[in-house]
Amino acid sequence: MSARRVIDPDAFLETEAGRVWTPERNAEAWRRAFAALRDQLEARTVERLVVVCGLQGAGKSFWIARQEPEAGTTYFDAALPGARHRAPIIDCARSYGIPVSAVWIRTPLGRALERNRQRPADRCVPEASIRSVDRLFEPPTPGEGFATVRIVQA
């Protein structure tokens, strides 16, 4: 069994005092997440990339944690509401010849909002942000470049 590999931009917001979000820190977190993806791809340790998307509070990280670790599989864990948000990840992996699958954790807005309210304060996402992702969300499709698309009803 191998260790599960997850790239989550929010992980780069962590400090000793907890997660700290500012627009500048968020931009840096995404830069570091893409750097981590490129590092894994360049090291040729990725055989399959799984993009796990959905509302904040949908259960993406929970779903990933319940997957059996597979050698060569990396998960990219982020809301990624639109095709334009997912395209740079797909393009990066495909430039290395790595297939990309999508998993959409489909959760009703009310349930995502409730789960978010139950999080520790430093991990709560502003309700307006979750509602915005809900309004903007475009289900992933093979037409974006995904080898497979799976919908998980949360």
Q: What is the pTM of this model?
A: 0.94
Q: What's the domain range around 86?
A: 5-153
If one counts the domains in the chain, the total is: 1
Q: Would you write out the chain's pLDDT as a tens digit for each of its 154 residues?
A: 457 899 999 999 998 988 888 899 999 999 999 999 999 999 999 999 999 999 999 999 999 999 999 999 999 999 999 999 999 999 999 999 999 999 999 999 999 999 999 999 988 999 999 999 999 999 999 999 999 999 999 7
Q: How far apart are CA 42 and CA 31, in angstroms?
A: 16
| CATH number of residue 24's parent domain | 3.40.50.300
